[in-house]
Chains A and B, each alone.
Chain A
């Protein structure tokens, strides 16, 4: 395991583990550069691996010029761009050196390496990538416009080496945890909150696989990060845990692999490479000890460190609450969000999520109370830092980069901690109020709130989707179409917008266009039961009953209680040439779903 995000201290695995603090240079080059304790496992490799590091001061002009051909024009007293390039290059070379050293000298059966270069270079320099963004001076654009392209070339070269060393028999999975906006969707500023730089991320990451038992030139649809572990376990012939949320990416295999299952790996006794229990730290308790020692005068954390430590505790709670919300467990998120909101009532993001949480718990009055309070606050900027004329400006290289890196390593935090003090309301309160009205069936009120949110920020594709859905419910198809098209203008990869256009087309009896839009939707996002459903409806209308049946079956596989899809399957299979047994099966499933819904209503 090499360089894993938030992977310090290195875990005592049966192999080599190198933490993400390993490559970080501290101090000037003439000073010793000791490895932080816990950066290497096993400890016996410490000295050997310390030698493989590259200090940023060792990165010379020859290495910088492919990234910044006009480096000579940079006034390094004022502009730290070249230092950042050197630092990121050095860090990624450190990681690459260890990875290649392992491949060349150690017996290995799995090598997992995290290169942060593409992410960090992009946070620093994507704003300079062509075409030039509005507000960016021509001169600085010219200087840094090649950095991102150079980064990809650099990573391709490293990948080439890795593939050569791994050999043709190795199975290789290349994946990213997110993409990066490189086009007109690049944000014109970074919101003033700890996870602010994430607005630069594109939802879709990348996954590529190669190996002896894998298909070639086959597209994988709907893969998520959660699928990586089950897939790797299957590649090793190991069972997948029933408690794992992901699935095995079977469509990548030449032949469907046998998939063994166990209830949970958590219940399997034996060594699992985790730290001993005493080394696992509760951040809140650790923070209390730190505060106590500092107050007694025995340690001297800097203000930034104090803020970063307090922020780490707060953000951990916030992130946990968000995970509970994403998992559909608002009851577990509630105490965390109530605590955060009480602690920092000015933080609009805490209040927004609390409102969302109340809404998830059907406490609509509480949700509305919070949203009304948010909407009554003075109109604050939506977050991006602004230039002299008040216009949002593209982020400077250090801005997003520092704050992105601070998410992984609080030691690097410069302005991340203080950034959270800014109250940000933006369009979100109106947006959520609109969603609440929508769910309550009050479409006119929903539309009014959503259109107000649009006035605050017209560049949010998801907002236009919700506006489009509201128009659909109001049977205002023309406006719905316009809203979905707006969403696509902003983000051409919006599966939901294509799905919305499929619905509009179905209503207009334009079934061919509906097929086209629904196909686009499910190819962009495979796990989209409604998308498959509308594809089925449009195909059935065109008389393609077999293909329609497949689409409906996909929809019910993803959403087993999808009654309309089951009903279509009954109808299709009862047609001449259909499968009456299947029709009976879907009729039975409809009955089961209705029974269980009835049971839920009258427990």
Chain B
């Protein structure tokens, strides 16, 4: 079994990696991408996964571990393995705002699209990923709202434990949530 944490960039995937590590699971991560102002606690990434489409066989190293696989790369997960995917979801306007802030700090340029058009592109991308996952019986998915994790970390940790079917340290998991790091928040309605 390979446990995968996925979602759009800036949807809370690093937070979930942190929680699973605290919960007692082994992460497949090489620390090549160090913590920075965008993710003060680190990214928990494994560099070779970024080239998954060119080297799908590399996923074998994640057997029995947790690996972060960004949404677009989920489509390249090879058959022949069993996957449990914790997929982090966050309002797209927040994702786009957070990505814009990150790009600014990185000094790089992303898609040449205005925010609303980028939201539409990401929405269509998510639909494609979800439709593709529905066709992959070997991949089971737990959809988890980033907001819910922040609002009720204990419940979120319990949901993940139930989905993964392994005992986890729920208290340690929920202790990882620091609402102060929730910076790109949509204005409250009403």
Which A residues fall within an 8 A CB radius of B?
26-27, 31-32, 34-38, 43, 46, 275-276, 278-279, 281-282, 285-286, 288-293, 295-300, 302, 411
Check B127 against A278 for contact (C-beta < 8 Å). Answer: yes
A residues within 8 A CB of B33? 297
Residues B7-49 near A (CB distance < 8 A): 9-10, 33
Which stretch, B101-109, B161-169, B172-180, touches the partner chain A? Answer: B101-109
Which B residues fall within an 8 A CB radius of A?
9-10, 33, 50-51, 53-57, 60, 70, 72-73, 75-80, 99, 102-103, 106, 108-113, 117-118, 120-122, 124-125, 127-128, 130-132, 135-137
B residues within 8 A CB of A38? 132, 135
Q: What's the least CB distance linking B151 to chain A, in Å? A: 26
- Across the interface, name the chain B residue whose C-beta is closest to A288: B111
Q: What's the least CB distance linking A523 to chain B, in Å? A: 50
- Provide the bound-state CA to CA distance between A21 and B12, in Å: 34
Check A298 against B50 for contact (C-beta < 8 Å). Answer: yes
**Known interface pairs A278-B127, A279-B131, A295-B103; A37-B79 also in contact (CB < 8 Å):** yes
B residues within 8 A CB of A290? 72
Can you list 29 A-B contacts with CB-CB less than 8 angstroms, sorted by A residue number? A32-B57, A34-B57, A36-B76, A36-B78, A37-B75, A37-B77, A37-B78, A37-B136, A43-B135, A46-B79, A278-B128, A278-B131, A288-B112, A288-B121, A289-B125, A291-B110, A293-B72, A295-B109, A295-B110, A296-B9, A297-B33, A297-B106, A298-B50, A298-B70, A299-B50, A299-B73, A300-B51, A302-B54, A411-B53
Check B54 against A293 for contact (C-beta < 8 Å). Answer: no
Check A299 against B128 for contact (C-beta < 8 Å). Answer: no
B residues within 8 A CB of A296? 9-10, 99, 102-103, 106, 108, 110
Which 4 pairs, one residue from A and one from B, show the smallest C-beta to C-beta distance? A34-B78, A278-B131, A288-B111, A300-B50
Check B72 against A289 for contact (C-beta < 8 Å). Answer: yes
A residues within 8 A CB of B103? 295-296
A residues within 8 A CB of B112? 288, 291
The residue from A35, A282, A288, A295 contacting B79, defined by CB atoms under 8 A apart? A35
- Provide the bound-state CA to CA distance between A279 and B56, in Å: 21
User: Could you say which of B50, B75, B130 has the most chain A C-beta atoms within 10 Å of its C-beta?
Assistant: B50
- Provide the bound-state CA to CA distance between A38 and B134, in Å: 12
Q: What's the least CB distance linking A299 to chain B, in Å? A: 5
**Known interface pairs A289-B72, A290-B72; A34-B56 also in contact (CB < 8 Å):** yes
The residue from B9, B51, B60, B128 contacting A281, defined by CB atoms under 8 A apart? B128
The residue from A46, A275, A278, A285 contacting B121, defined by CB atoms under 8 A apart? A285
Q: What's the least CB distance linking A461 to chain B, in Å? A: 43
**Known interface pairs A285-B120, A288-B118, A298-B9; A31-B113 also in contact (CB < 8 Å):** no
- Across the interface, name the chain B residue whose C-beta is closest to A32: B57
A residues within 8 A CB of B50? 298-300
- Provide the bound-state CA to CA distance between A46 and B137, in Å: 12
B residues within 8 A CB of A37? 75-79, 132, 136
- Provide the bound-state CA to CA distance between A37 and B128, in Å: 13
Q: What's the least CB distance linking A260 to chain B, in Å? A: 35
- Provide the bound-state CA to CA distance between A450 and B106, in Å: 55
A residues within 8 A CB of B113? 288
Q: What's the least CB distance linking A288 to chain B, in Å? A: 4
B residues within 8 A CB of A43? 135-137
- Provide the bound-state CA to CA distance between A405 and B56, in Å: 21
- Across the interface, name the chain B residue whose C-beta is closest to A281: B128
B residues within 8 A CB of A282? 124
A residues within 8 A CB of B99? 292, 296
A residues within 8 A CB of B70? 293, 298-299
Q: What's the least CB distance linking B167 to chain A, in Å? A: 31
Q: What's the least CB distance linking A273 to chain B, in Å? A: 14
- Provide the bound-state CA to CA distance between A115 and B88, in Å: 43
Q: What's the least CB distance linking B153 to chain A, in Å? A: 24
Check B136 against A276 for contact (C-beta < 8 Å). Answer: no
Check A34 against B80 for contact (C-beta < 8 Å). Answer: yes
The residue from B78, B117, B127 contacting A35, defined by CB atoms under 8 A apart? B78
Q: What's the least CB distance linking A21 to chain B, in Å? A: 11
- Provide the bound-state CA to CA distance between A543 and B70, in Å: 78
**Known interface pairs A27-B55, A43-B137; A289-B111 also in contact (CB < 8 Å):** yes
Q: What's the least CB distance linking A412 to chain B, in Å? A: 12
- Provide the bound-state CA to CA distance between A288 and B124, in Å: 11
B residues within 8 A CB of A275? 131
Check B57 against A31 for contact (C-beta < 8 Å). Answer: yes
- Provide the bound-state CA to CA distance between A294 and B54, in Å: 15
Q: What's the least CB distance linking B57 to chain A, in Å? A: 5
Q: A34-B79, A291-B110 are known contacts; what are 6 more A-B pairs with Cβ within 8 Å?
A: A36-B56, A285-B124, A296-B103, A297-B33, A298-B70, A300-B50
- Provide the bound-state CA to CA distance between A279 and B70, in Å: 18
- Across the interface, name the chain B residue whose C-beta is closest to A300: B50
B residues within 8 A CB of A281? 124, 128
**Known interface pairs A31-B57, A32-B80, A288-B121; A293-B131 also in contact (CB < 8 Å):** no
- Provide the bound-state CA to CA distance between A379 and B9, in Å: 48
Check B121 against A26 for contact (C-beta < 8 Å). Answer: no
- Provide the bound-state CA to CA distance between A366 and B181, in Å: 57
- Provide the bound-state CA to CA distance between A157 and B97, in Å: 60
**Known interface pairs A34-B78, A282-B124; A291-B111 also in contact (CB < 8 Å):** yes
Check A279 against B111 for contact (C-beta < 8 Å). Answer: no
B residues within 8 A CB of A300? 50-51
Q: What's the least CB distance linking A376 to chain B, in Å? A: 31
- Provide the bound-state CA to CA distance between A296 and B111, in Å: 10
- Across the interface, name the chain A residue whose C-beta is closest to B137: A43
Q: What's the least CB distance linking A416 to chain B, in Å? A: 17
Q: What's the least CB distance linking A69 to chain B, in Å? A: 36
A residues within 8 A CB of B121? 285-286, 288-289, 292
- Provide the bound-state CA to CA distance between A276 and B122, in Å: 18
- Provide the bound-state CA to CA distance between A43 and B73, in Å: 20
- Provide the bound-state CA to CA distance between A37 and B135, in Å: 9
- Across the interface, name the chain B residue whose C-beta is closest to A27: B57
- Provide the bound-state CA to CA distance between A601 and B9, in Å: 60
- Provide the bound-state CA to CA distance between A290 and B99, in Å: 13
- Provide the bound-state CA to CA distance between A279 and B10, in Å: 23
- Provide the bound-state CA to CA distance between A288 and B121, in Å: 7
A residues within 8 A CB of B72? 289-290, 293, 299
Q: What's the least CB distance linking B7 to chain A, in Å? A: 10
- Across the interface, name the chain B residue whose C-beta is closest to A46: B79
Q: What's the least CB distance linking A301 to chain B, in Å? A: 8
Q: What's the least CB distance linking A37 to chain B, in Å? A: 6
- Provide the bound-state CA to CA distance between A300 and B45, in Å: 13
**Known interface pairs A37-B75, A299-B73; A289-B132 also in contact (CB < 8 Å):** no
B residues within 8 A CB of A298? 9, 50, 70
